[in-house]
Amino acid sequence: MKKLMFGLVGWLGVCKMTLEFLNELISFVEKVYSYLHVALYYFMIWKKFPNGNLEA
């Protein structure tokens, strides 16, 4: 019974570590996506108004 409990605890530990890793990976992907979004936004603005003049 003890061996089964230790196996279960070990398996739960691996599951917890896997979920933490996936959480960090998702956080990283969201951060990269937000940086790309901002960079592409500035690129589009610069393409429309290359001299920096935003007036029509």
Identify the pLDDT of residue 20. Answer: 98
Identify the pLDDT of residue 50. Answer: 66
Every domain of the chain and the residues it spans = 21-56
Q: What is the pTM of this model?
A: 0.63
| pLDDT per residue as tens digits for the range 5-52 | 778 888 999 999 999 999 999 999 999 999 999 888 888 877 776 666
What does the block give as tokens for 31?
A: 């951060």
Q: 3-state secondary structure string, the chain?
A: CHHHHHHHHHHHHHHHHHHHHHHHHHHHHHHHHHHHHHHHHHHHHHHHCCCCCCCC
